[in-house]
Amino acid sequence: MLVSPSLLSADFSNLSKDIEMINSSGADYLHLDIMDGVFVPNISFGFPVIESVSKICNKPLDVHLMIVEPQKWIDRVKTTGAEIMNVHLEACLHLDRTINAIKDAGMKAGVTLNPATPVSLLVDIIEELDLVLLMSVNPGFGGQSFIKNTLKKVKELKKLRDNSGSKAIIEVDGGVNEETGKLLAEEGADMLVAGNYVFKSENPLKRIEILKNI
């Protein structure tokens, strides 16, 4: 299982300590949640923080933009050194154009779906995607409970992906822990984001290892 711990639940007064932990862990990516207070009812952190984190983190960055008009920020995200740029389908009027622009900028392109957005809306874009991020909570906050309907969506997405020949990674974000992670793996998830489960633990390295071995 690919694992992408979410920095949103880290200790913002001592980020370098948490990044050192991530560097020494088996995590595959570091997940960064950008919120604008418009697309979601919260504001997190922005580009100066991503840039500082990027300098000291030896894992590739998985950037999740919870913002309106994400297409305006493609070049800016690229300059942070991000490997994956995730945009919400609900925030993109011209999704195909945005996905192509992300790839032209040299990043992996991911589309994120809110819990109430059906997987079937990806049918005409799935072949172009490097990744699909399914939200298993309503975006905006860490520490929420897993929405079980996501399991059905993972299964449906796997079918859509495999039938289309797409190689898109299936990533899931929100309320992930050992139990929900196992259920997601059974349905075909390839990559798990975990905030509270990792960073609010006494032993975050162990928690990352547990998710890795699911």
Distance, CA of 196 to CA of 94 (rounded, Å)? 33
Q: In angstroms, how far is CA 177 from the centroid of its own chain?
A: 15
- Relative to beta strand 169-173, strand 131-135 is parallel
- Residue 64 touching Zn ion (CB under 5 A): yes
Helix (H, G, I), strand (E, B) or coil at 206: helix
Site pattern 157..176 for Zn ion (x: CB under 5 A): ----------------x---
The token duo for 213 is 């071995």
Q: Which of 52, 114, 117, 144 binds ligand DX5 (CB under 6 A)?
A: 144
Catalytic residue among 36, 130, 173, 190: 173
Task: Report the residue number, 28 or 164, with the smaller CB distance to ligand DX5.
Answer: 28
Strand-pair partners of 193: 4, 173
Distance, CA of 44 to CA of 48 (rounded, Å)? 12
Q: Which of 33, 62, 130, 171 binds Zn ion (CB under 5 A)?
A: 33
What ranges in the chain are assigned the alpha helix state H? 15-23, 47-56, 74-79, 95-104, 149-164, 178-187, 196-199, 204-212
Site for ligand DX5 in 12-31 (CB under 6 A): 31
Q: Map tokens 């590739």 to a residue.
A: 60
Task: Report the residue number, 26 or 123, with the smaller CB distance to ligand DX5.
Answer: 26
Examine the residue annotation and report whether 33 is marked as an active-site residue of this protein: yes
Examine the residue annotation and report whether 173 is marked as an active-site residue of this protein: yes
Q: Measured from the CB of residue 4, what is the shortest distance to ligand DX5 in angstroms? A: 9
Q: Measured from the CB of residue 74, what is the shortest distance to ligand DX5 in angstroms? A: 19
Instruction: Kindly list the residues in this chain that would bind ligand DX5 in the complex (CB under 6 A).
Output: 6, 8-9, 31, 33, 64, 137, 139-144, 173-176, 193-197
Among all residues, which ones are annotated catalytic?
33, 173
